[in-house]
Structure 1
Amino acid sequence: MHGVMGKPPGAATDNNGVAASRIMLLLLVAMTGVAPISLYMLVPALPLLASTFGRDISVAQMTVSLYMVGIACSQIIMGPLSDRFGRRPVLLAGLGLMVLASAACIFAETLPQLIAARFLQALGGATGMVVSRAIIRDLYSRERIGSMISLVIAVMMIAQMLSPLTGGLLETAFGWRSIFYVITAASLIIAVAIALTLPETRRVRAGGGNFRGDVGYLVTSRPFIGYMLCQVLASQIIFTFAGGGPYIVVTQMGRSSAEYGAWFAATGFAYLIGNLFCVRFAPRHSLEKLIWFGLALQLTGAFLNLVWGVAGLNMMPSWLFGTQMLVMFANAFVMSNSAAGAISVRPEAAGTASGAMGFLQMGIGSLFSQFGAWLGGHFASPMPLNAAIVILSIACASTMIFLVPRRDVVVSEELIEQAEEEESGMM
């Protein structure tokens, strides 16, 4: 199995290897984070955009909503392309599109122009999100993939949590167009860094391989479907709670939006800590064990929130969000390791698998976010939202129980690795 930067495990133990590993980590974080960070940087400027262009705030909101559509579309397109043409050219093409679209945002004269440019910006920038997972699968053994995904997410989340503040400061000091100057410069720097330092990591197929064959294999693979659905359903817990949370805290509990923001940030911090714990424990445990640990903890937290609701305690933010923090901590274990399992079922099609997973996550996420908002805004208690999260948690566990034959997956992975080692020995 490949180690860091194409070297076998243990070869990157000297100073040069450590430096190369750190550079790779920085590149993975940068390419993964550029699209979501760019998404949240603009959020504080939405009211100003509406007044500047003389349009309703709902129209200005399309610079965010259509951006998310662009992220979803990008992943289903760019993932398979990276399997066909390689990680480097697809990454550079995507980031090149993001640079051009970001520059177009700077010079947009109307809100529809800005919305269209934002869609293209997301289409190019999200390339890094899907290809980074494929690169991690290219470079690391199956049992290390979950920890690497968690590490990338943990580092990226720190920057992502600061991005609305950064966008707000830029807009206040220099105007909303300054946000796009920064995004354009950052995208260009990342593209240059990838061009200069990132090697091609895609696996060379002895038999060629094609997109139709990859898709045919994946859609008929129970382990892939199981891991992918587990990851996608786990992510819907986040979208559903995020959609309903503001209505519950502000409308039902009568608290301020600032208080909601503080509590929601606490759940994000719990997710960050969960990823850091995953990084620590992943090298010593199989990804299946980590997924089941996360599922058990996730179910426990979800059921506790339902119990608090029955007892009438969930009308206090400390009870609702305190238990949700446990759910989010566990969610980190489920999402990272189920993603690792999904892209490991057919390693040579890691880009296609990653793209399908990312597309479903974002596409279904937009629906569940609206569903969560409906649950929070049309009921007088958090109970319906709590029940929805319990159902999603049960659905996550069901995919692992009924679709992922754990022994077969392990055996198939061992056979894949043995075949790779034999192939590399013959070359």
Structure 2
Amino acid sequence: MHGLMGKPPGAATDRHDPTTSRLMLLMLVAMTGVAPISLYMLVPALPVLAATFKSDIQVAQMTVSLYMVGIACSQLTMGPLSDKFGRRPVLLAGLALMVAASLGASLAQTMPQLIAARFLQALGGASGMVISRAIIRDLYSRDRVGAMISLVIAVMMVAQMLSALAGGLLETSFGWRAIFWFITASSLGVTVLIAIALPETRRARAESGGFRGDIGSLLGNRAFVGYMLCQVLASQIIFVFAGGGPYIVVTQMGRTTAEYGAWFAATGFAFLLGNLLCVRFAPRHQLEKLIWFGLALQLGGSLLNLGWSFAGINQAPSWLFGTQMIVMAANAFVMSNSAAGAISVRPEAAGTASGAMGFLQQGVGALVSQLGAWLGGHSTTTLPLTAAIFALSVACACAMLFLVPRRGVAVSEEVVEKAEGERR
């Protein structure tokens, strides 16, 4: 199978064989989606879990909150480990941990047992989230990475949108343990697929600097810091809006939770559309141009929403969410291409770069979502929330403008990569 999938690890090249590309896309989507899909599948069953184990709903909520902590911890550890030991062994170990933890969750007899199993489930499953970006950088040239990340996100989002519905149907038909049986079987299937079909893609390392050396060289690189901050700050727009949106729609506007859910799904569709457009435009445009296009559109949309707030005319969901859809479509361009730039600064440390970026995204996101909830719940207008979104958009642009070199960075990275390939 190694022969089918391509050449030995080295300089990144694009795969053009349709069968190979479809198989690789399937594996990337599967390894990326297994953790977030497992997160959302359990959400509809939280009230049932609280009743079953005679626990407070806040305790049952820890099966979600500590799951997110597990994802953050996994991002920070699995990426560097994959740089040191290889993508395949670390990914397979992580997925094996998820299979074992999912089985343990299905057999849990107490709430603490279930919470512990969920943490381990996230710790193992999230390895696919961080390593998938590193694998994409291993296999594809710098200007194709953003498009591939967007494609994986687009396909994964369809499954992720359906995961809560699937979890609810499983719980209603067979009980909450059926959700974990399904997750166990699915994660086992992904593990087998990866073991059979995925070759080792990690680049040969010229030196053995280890995690401290890799993270030190990355943090000392202005371009990496700029790309990473741009990606992390862009992702916070989603977190702050998700945190404050329910309070604004339900409390301020007096609408139902179902109506909020429909409008929020519309912003998710806009994000999906933005990723698909990024896939289409990426082959014809440089990575930096795509980022700046997204930043310009993101700034324009957030400024328009801020203007509606000042004018007092977006006290209806159609105004707030309609403009936010522009921001979300632009956000897709910014996030995928700035992530591509970050993991391309030092390709042999792509796992460490991906892990640091993912850890910051999740860790800061937990705080920013709380900020969004506070802004939405302690105000009588949409102004605080739209001002926060505009501020984040400005911060994204500043990270690119002041930290990422505007001339020669892409060329220099391609020259370095080519030289490394020739040395090998």
Deviation at 1:219, TM superposition (A): 1.0
State whether residues 5 and 21 of structure 1, in contact with CA within 8 Å, keep that contact through their aligned partners in structure 2: no
Gap change, CA 1:26 and 1:255, over 3 Å in 2: same
Look up the equivalent residue of 1:190 and give its one-letter code: V
Deviation at 1:9, TM superposition (A): 8.5
Q: How does 1:301-340 map to 2 (within 5 A)?
A: 301-340=301-340
CA deviation digits over 1:273-330, x for unaligned, max 9?
0000000001110110000000000000101111111111111000000000000000
Q: Distance in 1 between matches of 2:323 and 2:5?
A: 38
Deviation at 1:217, TM superposition (A): 0.5
Look up the equivalent residue of 2:64 and give its one-letter code: V
Which residue is 1:264 aligned to? 264
Which residue is 1:5 aligned to? 6
Gap change, CA 1:305 and 1:416, over 3 Å in 2: same
Q: How does 1:143-182 map to 2 (within 5 A)?
A: 143-182=143-182
CA deviation digits over 1:163-187, x for unaligned, max 9?
0000000000000000000000000
Which residue is 2:386 aligned to? 386
SS for the counterpart of 1:225 is: helix
CA deviation digits over 1:107-128, x for unaligned, max 9?
1111111111000000000000
Which residue is 2:85 aligned to? 85
Q: Which runs of 4+ in 1 moved over 4 A?
A: 7-13
Look up the equivalent residue of 1:396 and give its one-letter code: C
State whether residues 235 and 335 of structure 2, in contact with CA within 8 Å, keep that contact through their aligned partners in structure 1: yes
Deviation at 1:415, TM superposition (A): 2.0
State whether residues 6 and 139 of structure 1, in contact with CA within 8 Å, keep that contact through their aligned partners in structure 2: no
Q: Distance in 2 between matches of 1:127 and 1:293?
A: 31
Deviation at 1:4, TM superposition (A): 6.6
State the percentage of identical aligned residues. 74
Which residue is 1:133 aligned to? 133
Which residue is 1:288 aligned to? 288
CA deviation digits over 1:331-390, x for unaligned, max 9?
000000000000000000000000000000000000000000000000001110000000
Q: Distance in 2 between matches of 1:413 and 1:9?
A: 12
Look up the equivalent residue of 1:304 and give its one-letter code: L
* Unaligned ranges ≥5, structure 1: none
Which residue is 2:38 aligned to? 38
* Unaligned ranges ≥5, structure 2: none
State whether residues 6 and 201 of structure 1, in contact with CA within 8 Å, keep that contact through their aligned partners in structure 2: no
Q: Distance in 1 between matches of 2:292 and 2:225?
A: 17
Asked if 1:218 corresponds to 2:208, the answer is no
CA deviation digits over 1:231-285, x for unaligned, max 9?
0000000000000000000000000000000000000000000000000001110
Which residue is 1:122 aligned to? 122
Which residue is 1:107 aligned to? 107
CA deviation digits over 1:397-419, x for unaligned, max 9?
00001100122422321221221
Gap change, CA 1:4 and 1:281, over 3 Å in 2: farther
State whether residues 315 and 381 of structure 1, in contact with CA within 8 Å, keep that contact through their aligned partners in structure 2: yes
Look up the equivalent residue of 2:204 and give its one-letter code: V
Deviation at 1:213, TM superposition (A): 1.7
Q: Distance in 2 between matches of 1:311 and 1:67?
A: 41
Gap change, CA 1:12 and 1:76, over 3 Å in 2: closer
State whether residues 130 and 354 of structure 1, in contact with CA within 8 Å, keep that contact through their aligned partners in structure 2: yes
Q: Distance in 1 between matches of 2:414 and 2:274?
A: 28
Which residue is 2:207 aligned to? 207
Structure 1 length normalisation: TM-score? 0.96
Gap change, CA 1:92 and 1:390, over 3 Å in 2: same
Q: Distance in 2 between matches of 1:270 and 1:69?
A: 28
Q: Distance in 2 between matches of 1:145 and 1:28?
A: 13
Look up the equivalent residue of 2:174 and give its one-letter code: F
Q: How does 1:58-69 map to 2 (within 5 A)?
A: 58-69=58-69
Task: Give the aligned CA root-mean-square deviation in angstroms.
Answer: 1.4
Which residue is 1:249 aligned to? 249
SS for the counterpart of 1:207 is: coil
Q: Distance in 1 between matches of 2:67 and 2:182?
A: 18
Which residue is 1:21 aligned to? 21
Gap change, CA 1:10 and 1:366, over 3 Å in 2: closer
